[in-house]
Structure 1
């Protein structure tokens, strides 16, 4: 099953930009998923079990070194990478 996850990461510290950039860079090392960056969140697309395994690994790595980090995840059981963003505006 294909899935999509939207990720927002909030390191609760003054210097919060670099940990976010580092996290996204690590996501992009996983060749079996697709990563889309934007100013508000990051989306990852791929096979459900692959995504969940990768998210477990990468979120755990962040929390091990920066436990005061909040993650907000939205998950849907389809590949939304090509979904039209204007579907409701017609």
Structure 2
């Protein structure tokens, strides 16, 4: 099954909040089997459902280990949406 997830990350840190977000986006780019696009408020990733869920688990844990607490808001839709489509 294919899945598209929209992720918003809110670092709960006193330091610059942009650095952890950029760090996460760069890490998401290291996964060759997913498609990624970032907008001003969220990042969308699309690919195999099991892989997307494993990526989210891995990256949420890595974020906690590197930056401390962060809040993740995720939305999921079944299917692989065209993330390059402009409306």
Counterpart CA distance in 2 for 1:78 and 1:63 is 29
3-state SS in 1 of match to 2:37: strand
Contact map agreement 1:4 1:81 (CA 8 A) in 2: no
Larger Rg, first or second structure (1 or 2): 1
- 1:66-85 equivalent positions in 2, closer than 5 A: 66-81=67-82
Q: Which runs of 4+ in 1 moved over 4 A?
A: 82-86
The match for 2:51 is 50
> Could you tell me whether the CA contact under 8 Å between 2:8 and 2:41 is conserved in 1?
yes
The alignment's TM-score, normalised by the length of structure 1, stands at 0.86
The whole-number CA distance in structure 2 between the counterparts of 1:11 and 1:3 is 25
Residue 37 of structure 2 corresponds to residue 33 of structure 1: no
Q: Secondary structure at the match of 1:4?
A: strand
RMSD between superposed Cα atoms in Å: 1.7
- TM-score w.r.t. the length of structure 2 is 0.88
CA contact (8 A) 1:2 1:46 kept: yes
Q: Deviations over 1:38-86 (max 9, x none)?
A: 1110000001001111111111100123332100000111112259665
How many residues in Structure 1 have an aligned counterpart in Structure 2? Answer: 86
Unaligned runs of 5+ in 2: none
Question: Structure 1: which 5+ runs fail to align?
Answer: none
